[in-house]
């Protein structure tokens, strides 16, 4: 069986981290693409220098053009301007929208059978834009947001409870931003709902820490945004798809009636497989949870409308 091939567009911190984690795990041969000459080549070479130490058999190469990406199974799009302190994800809308249009057109031309995984912020809007620009079925265009937000939720739950991270199953849905919806009732610690493990005020504090976890990293770094957890989240989603695991992961996917929502990309639990999004099962939410999810979606719909893409 031929080795799977993954293209990562954008050799910045997130893209390079994703590529290196995929190499370490032997997930696929990786092509790093970036407009900056020498950057993807240099980072790829550096990763390959670690090959004998970590004993991975896959290759990482760098390029400045899309010819090297031809025939990719998955194209990960991380290209774009990162958030800076004081900047919201929506501030990035116009700038990164133009980048996504260009990247997706070139990537799909080189790999028409690929699955597109969008990482560029504002994530939910960019995923929708990537779908519309690509002309691909929605099952082959998704975004990374829910996995990262859920990982942050798990960390803060572990910190608050003292439980082992392996005993925590956390889930966050909604927009990848300040209107995200952590679900304490459906998140568990050693099989027990978080709402039964911590008092309400502590649950509220954990939720707040999760919602602003990304912004806290941005504030502390002073320049740039998170990349270790986002890059690892990308690698996990790619592995699930290439391995056809049918794993359920919170992913930014197109909704078609689920949760009373349609024609919007939003993070919800989705079954991932070799073809991308295999299924989007509708989880049972309380009225309060559903209302929060729909309110989160409303902001995305409004942002998409500003790009002239709605409907």
pLDDT digits (tens, 9 = 90+) for 225-259: 999 999 999 999 999 999 999 999 999 999 999 99
Is the per-residue pLDDT at 1 higher than 50? Answer: no
End-to-end CA distance of the chain: 41
- Is residue 188 domain-resident? yes
Among the candidates 143, 161, 180, a domain finishes at 143
> Do residues 18 and 131 share a domain?
yes
- Is residue 227 domain-resident? yes
Rounded mean pLDDT, 8-31: 98
- Is residue 25 domain-resident? yes
> Do residues 72 and 106 share a domain?
yes
> Do residues 123 and 163 share a domain?
no
- Is residue 243 domain-resident? yes
User: Given this model, what pLDDT does residue 94 score?
Assistant: 82
The count of structural domains within the chain is 2
Please write down the long-range contacts of 94-100, taking CB distance under 8 Å and 24 or more positions apart: 96/120, 96/121, 96/122, 96/126, 97/125, 97/126, 97/129, 97/307, 100/126, 100/129, 100/130, 100/133
> Do residues 237 and 277 share a domain?
yes
Among the candidates 143, 159, 184, a domain finishes at 143
User: Given this model, what pLDDT does residue 89 score?
Assistant: 58
> Do residues 292 and 181 share a domain?
yes
> Do residues 180 and 117 share a domain?
no
Is the per-residue pLDDT at 310 higher than 60? Answer: no
- Is residue 220 domain-resident? yes
Lowest mean pLDDT among 2-11, 19-28, 198-207, 244-253: 2-11
The enclosing domain of 85 has a CATH number of 3.40.50.720
pLDDT by residue (tens digit) across 62-102? 999 999 999 999 999 999 987 667 766 567 788 899 999 99
> Do residues 100 and 158 share a domain?
no
pLDDT by residue (tens digit) across 268-308? 999 999 999 999 999 999 999 999 999 999 999 999 998 87
- Is residue 74 domain-resident? yes
> Do residues 42 and 181 share a domain?
no
pLDDT by residue (tens digit) across 143-193? 999 999 999 999 999 999 999 999 999 999 999 999 999 999 999 999 999
Domain that holds residue 245: 146-306
- Is residue 311 domain-resident? no
> Do residues 241 and 153 share a domain?
yes
> Do residues 155 and 299 share a domain?
yes
> Do residues 294 and 209 share a domain?
yes
* Tokens representing residue 80 in the block: 């774009």
> How far is residue 225's CA from residue 129's CA, in Å, rounded to a whole number?
22
Type and span of the H or E element at 75: strand 74-77
Which CA distances in Å does 231 have to 34, 90, 118, 204? 16, 21, 12, 27
Is the per-residue pLDDT at 134 higher than 50? Answer: yes
- Is residue 36 domain-resident? yes
The alpha carbon torsion through 136, 140, 146, 150 (nearest 10 deg) reads -170
Among the candidates 125, 143, 161, a domain finishes at 143
> Do residues 80 and 229 share a domain?
no
Give catalytic residue positions: 176
Is the per-residue pLDDT at 210 higher than 70? Answer: yes
Most confidently modeled range among 88-97, 128-137, 216-225: 128-137
The enclosing domain of 188 has a CATH number of 3.90.110.10
Please write down the long-range contacts of 66-69, taking CB distance under 8 Å and 24 or more positions apart: 66/33, 66/106, 66/107, 66/109, 66/110, 67/110, 68/31, 68/33, 69/7, 69/9, 69/31, 69/33, 69/107, 69/110, 69/111
């Amino acid at each position: 069986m031929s080795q799977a091939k993954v293209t990562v567009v954008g050799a910045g911190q997130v893209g390079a981290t994703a590529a290196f984690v995929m190499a370490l795990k032997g997930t696929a041969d990786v092509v790093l693409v970036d407009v900056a000459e020498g950057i993807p080549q240099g980072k790829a070479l550096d990763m390959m220098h670690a090959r004998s130490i970590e004993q991975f058999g896959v290759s990482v190469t760098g390029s400045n053009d899309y010819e090297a990406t031809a025939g990719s199974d998955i194209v990960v799009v991380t290209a774009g301007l990162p958030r800076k302190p004081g900047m919201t994800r929506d501030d990035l809308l116009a700038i990164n929208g133009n980048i996504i249009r260009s990247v997706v057109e070139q990537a799909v031309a080189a790999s028409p059978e690929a699955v597109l995984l969008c990482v560029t912020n504002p994530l939910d809007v960019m995923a929708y834009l990537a779908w519309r620009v690509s002309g691909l079925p929605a099952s082959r265009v998704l975004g990374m947001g829910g996995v990262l937000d859920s990982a942050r939720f798990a960390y803060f739950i572990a910190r608050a409870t003292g439980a082992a991270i392996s005993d925590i199953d956390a889930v966050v849905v909604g927009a990848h931003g300040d209107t995200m919806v952590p679900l304490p009732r459906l998140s568990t610690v050693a099989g027990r709902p978080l709402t039964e493990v911590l008092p309400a005020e502590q649950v509220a504090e954990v939720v707040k820490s999760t919602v602003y976890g990304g912004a806290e990293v941005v504030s502390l770094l002073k320049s740039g945004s998170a990349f270790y957890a986002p890059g690892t989240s990308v690698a996990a989603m790619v592995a699930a798809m290439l391995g056809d695991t049918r794993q359920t992961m919170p992913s930014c996917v197109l909704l078609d009636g689920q949760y009373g929502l349609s024609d919007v990309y939003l993070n919800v639990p989705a079954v991932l497989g070799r073809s991308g999004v295999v299924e989007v099962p509708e989880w049972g939410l309380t009225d309060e949870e559903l209302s929060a999810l729909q309110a989160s979606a409303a902001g995305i719909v409004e942002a998409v409308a500003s790009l002239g893409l709605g409907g």
